Structure 1
Amino acid sequence: MDTIMRIKFGSHLYGTSTPASDIDYKSIFIPPAREIVLQDIREVITNQRPKQVGERNVAGDIDEEAFSLQKFLKLASEGQTVAMDLLFAPDWAHIIPPDPLWADIAANRSRLLTRKSASFVGYVKAQANKYGIRGSRVASSRAALSLLTRAMETSGAGAKLDLHAQEIHKLVASYDHMAILQDRTPNGQDIELWEVCDRKMPLTATIKNAHDIMQRLVGEYGKRALMAESNQGVDWKALSHAVRIGHQAVELLKTGQITFPLPDAKHVLDIKLGRLSYKDVADEIEGLLETVNAVAECSTLPEQPDYDWINSFVYEAYRTEVVKNG
């Protein structure tokens, strides 16, 4: 197995490490010729200390994750955050001198980037939904729950949502974070879904099922409001990742680049260490989501990666490995 590149990753790459930080390495490799020929390639190889369920890394722990060339390029073409960090890692982050193949990949980064950057945008959206407590989300979820409570009283818990389709459509027109979506079932039937704060409920579902979903959502927002007041029970590391990735997404979509260490490393570290208020950070994540969506709309990055180049690059690299060891 030939290593193409190997870097120090995580907080040491971002500039947010502390004395308690573990050491994280990532690498990319060419699989052995035998695995290539037998089509039995290990796409991802991990090496870490065995831990108990739920146990976190401690200072001095070393985690390493290695990706095959084909797997890495696939992740990069999808805009996966780990691949983007590898793709833009500066020279000082490299643990060993990179193989000449890496220079070819770096020179063709633009072939891997797209304006969709699905994983970046999707991750920020997921975190905004997970941690956000903006009043508009709370209001929308409560309005939906109120409608469903009335619907249960008038139509019964087992009735279908589509009995109240007209009321639902009116509510959607009045609130943010709501939409009516179109979908198709596996058997080809077209259906409508009511989306509230990214919870999707088909109008063919029962009112009780939808009511339970909204009741849980309203309860979650209540818990977040309490966390915002007390700063207790907050996963600060997860929040710092959300802010970091949001800013990286904006930079990538605007410039086609990602800078390391992070230009806002101190701010991200302050979040990671719980030095800011939960509400301020949650609001920042919500704002980042809006910015990422806006920047993606006007980004000059292409719509699709260059799949022909990716396939040709992998083919030549793997063919060379097989011939060399034939």
Structure 2
Amino acid sequence: MSIDTGAVARANEILRTEAGSGVHGLAIAGVSDHDEAGVFVEPAEHVVGLAGPVDHHTWRDRPEGARSEAGDRECTLYSLRKFLRLAVAGNPNLLLVMCAPESSVYRTTALGDELRALAPAFLSRDAARRAVGYLDGQVAMLLGRGRQKDMPKRPELVAAHGYDTKFASHALRLGLQALELTEHARLTLPMPEADRERVLRVKSGGVPDLDAVLAEVTAVRDRAEALLEAGRTPLPEAPDTERISAWSVDAHRRHWDAMPAA
């Protein structure tokens, strides 16, 4: 049976926020695209019935595989179950949905508000380590050591600056956010002004030497890792999965109870 994933996702949406460079405060007018991410609750027939799961839905202005251009919009909605699994595992992109400022929240419901209030339950040393590991992968790809399909593909930036400045700025941003998470058990969005300026300087080509960028990324990354290894962080060791799971069960039940009878 064919499933209209878009219809399921939109009809059951509980939260949607700005994502990507915009939520970090790193968008550049006339250059950046517009990303959104959110959460929906799968109807009961897709969870305990035979209709088949719907774990996410993405729509974008350009065809799949085509690079986004300035002003293009892309949005991905995740089922609550998938969202929680990824967020509990420390996925840095999904943690941002719960930490986005009110000005970046485009849609929310009572359940969406409750999910955002749960954000501290997801922040843990595991999440910080995941962010550091993700950063290491970004650096490897920046240096040409990653999988070919994941390599930076912005030859115009390489031609203009000698390296992919956008990809390099992602690495620095990840490092700074991993350090903030480790030091203060929080993620500030948009990024604190001093950090935001550092990342924008790289993104806009203001640092002509890739080695200088990598040195800064390495210093931030090593600081976060040292704090984690020494246990000098206010973060708990692991997310509060018991609390998150209990809320998820209750949230699904309440959403289903509120749905009109078929």
TM-score for both structures, normalised by structure 1 = 0.65
Query: What is the DSSP-based 3-state SS (H/G/I as helix, E as strand, rest coil) of the residue aligned with 1:275?
Result: coil
Q: Encode CA deviations 1:35-72: one digit per residue, 9 max, x unaligned.
A: 1232622111100134374x321112110000111211
Query: Please, which moves more after superposition, 264-273 or 77-86?
Result: 264-273
Q: Encode CA deviations 1:81-105: one digit per residue, 9 max, x unaligned.
A: 1112112101011113x21223322
* Number of the residue aligned with 2:201: 270
* Number of the residue aligned with 1:303: 237
* Number of the residue aligned with 1:15: 25
Map 1:1-326; keep pairs closer than 5 Å.
1-18=11-28, 19-38=30-49, 40-51=52-63, 53=65, 55-96=66-107, 98-117=108-127, 118-131=129-142, 231-232=161-162, 234-263=163-192, 264-276=195-207, 277-297=209-229, 298-325=232-259, 326=261
Gaps of 5+ in 2: 1-10, 147-157
Matches of 1:130 and 1:10, distance apart in 2? 19
CA gap of 1:300–1:274, structure 2 versus 1, over 3 A, is same
Query: What is the DSSP-based 3-state SS (H/G/I as helix, E as strand, rest coil) of the residue aligned with 2:37?
Result: strand
Matches of 1:82 and 1:52, distance apart in 2? 20
Q: Aligned partner of 1:83: which letter?
A: L
Q: Aligned partner of 1:107: which letter?
A: A
Q: Encode CA deviations 1:12-34: one digit per residue, 9 max, x unaligned.
A: 11111112211111111112232
1:121, distance to aligned residue in structure 2 (A)? 1.3
CA RMSD of aligned residues (A): 2.5
Number of aligned positions between the proteins: 230
Matches of 1:72 and 1:21, distance apart in 2? 25
CA contact (8 A) 1:114 1:302 kept: yes
CA contact (8 A) 2:23 2:190 kept: yes
Matches of 1:50 and 1:122, distance apart in 2? 30
1:320, distance to aligned residue in structure 2 (A)? 2.1
Query: What is the DSSP-based 3-state SS (H/G/I as helix, E as strand, rest coil) of the residue aligned with 1:104?
Result: helix
Structure ID, larger Rg: 1
CA contact (8 A) 1:88 1:258 kept: yes
Q: Aligned partner of 1:127: which letter?
A: Q
CA contact (8 A) 1:3 1:30 kept: yes
Q: Encode CA deviations 1:248-289: one digit per residue, 9 max, x unaligned.
A: 111111111111111222221221122202111011111122
Query: What is the DSSP-based 3-state SS (H/G/I as helix, E as strand, rest coil) of the residue aligned with 2:125?
Result: coil
Matches of 1:111 and 1:25, distance apart in 2? 23
Q: Aligned partner of 1:17: which letter?
A: A
Matches of 2:234 and 2:99, distance apart in 1? 18
TM-score for both structures, normalised by structure 2 = 0.79
Aligned sequence identity (%): 29
